[in-house]
Amino acid sequence: MADFEKKFRKSIKSKIFLLDNIMSYIVKRKGKQIRPMLVFLTSQLCGGTQEATYRGAALIELLHTATLVHDDVIDDANQRRGFLSINAIWKNKISVLVGDYLLSRGLLLSVENGDYDLLQIVSRAVKEMSEGELLQMEKSKFLNINEEVYLKIIRQKTATLISACCAVGANTAGASEDTVNQMALFGEKIGIAFQIKDDLFDYGEGSGIGKPMGIDIKEKKLTLPLIYALRNSSWFEKRRIINRVKQSEKKPYKVAEVVAFVKESGGIEYATQKMKKYYHEALEILDDFPDSEAKDSLLELVKFIIERKK
């Protein structure tokens, strides 16, 4: 990963002092880097890491970072991973342009090196992510998300990029189309499990996630624990809880009522069971590959994703 860090920093270098200063801020506060790790481990599993693998990992990381910068503007978020967000320091106009710059650097990196297969994989992911975000906004307005719609949203918003990571890794290793598709499915399963785990944190199931409990409820985002609890409640109880969700932004104490309702209704256990289902389906895909150090590392990474505390 040290070599990747150097190449990534070079890919976002700018002659504009302000922009380069912001890029340095971003690099110093990067997260767990699960996505580039998935690219490298998948490439090693499927034949070996090539120079194109580094470019593919950089493309993914540039895209992911751009979406985070733009998300913070959309959500009016002042913190990211425990640090001040870009928009909190440099305001919205600069943040939007920074996100655009990161996206353009990713596109140029691929075009200049003829990595058109990678560009196609990642462009599809961008399309899916945008559609997922808009679908969630549409459904959240009326609070009518069922489990099927929820799974579609998280597949598009989160799992599609993790799927792209695994597809990019396999592609750059020279794997067959069938293997690339197989690894893309593996990544999708991991991505869905990852997002369900993240949603569980909103109900206090873990610690140190970097966001206060109940933030999804305040933003009127119906996630799997609450969807299950509502599905298994009476009409009267369902209306009461929906009203609590609607009131939670202005009356934060209503959040505690919703959290208690979800826990009493078995929503946490159901979501955890679903998360483990996707986890085991991902492991079954890896069973098709021979034992190797890369496979062991992927297994450890997948295990970390569902057992993490933040």
| 266 pLDDT more than 50 | yes
pTM for the model stands at: 0.90
- Give φ, ψ of 266 to 5 degrees: 80, 15
> What's the rounded mean pLDDT across residues 276-291?
95
Tell me what percent of the residues of the chain surpass a pLDDT of 90: 69
pLDDT at position 209, please? 46
Closest C-alpha among 159, 176, 65, 162 to residue 117: 176
Closest C-alpha among 256, 254, 261 to residue 237: 261
| 210 pLDDT more than 50 | no
| Nearest-angstrom CA–CA distance, 217 and 235 | 20
pLDDT at position 205, please? 66
147 burial class (0-12, 13-18, 19+ CB within 10 angstroms)?
Answer: middle
Q: How far is CA 151 from the centre of its chain?
A: 14
> What's the rounded mean pLDDT across residues 9-21?
90
Greatest mean pLDDT range, 15-29, 223-237, 248-262: 223-237
pLDDT at position 219, please? 83
pLDDT at position 28, please? 82
pLDDT at position 206, please? 59
> What's the rounded mean pLDDT across residues 185-195?
96
> What's the rounded mean pLDDT across residues 91-118?
94
CA dihedral angle for residue 77, residue 154, residue 123, residue 3, rounded to 10 degrees: 70
| 150 pLDDT more than 60 | yes
The mean pLDDT of the chain is 90
| Nearest-angstrom CA–CA distance, 98 and 271 | 36
> What's the rounded mean pLDDT across residues 263-276?
96
Q: Tell me how many helices (H) and strands (E) the chain has.
A: 15, 2
Name which residue leads in pLDDT, 248 or 115: 115
Work out the pLDDT band at 197, boundaries 50, 70, 90: very high
| 190 pLDDT more than 60 | yes
List the Cα angle 288/294/295 in 5-degree steps.
30
Q: Which residues pair with 186 in a beta bridge?
A: none
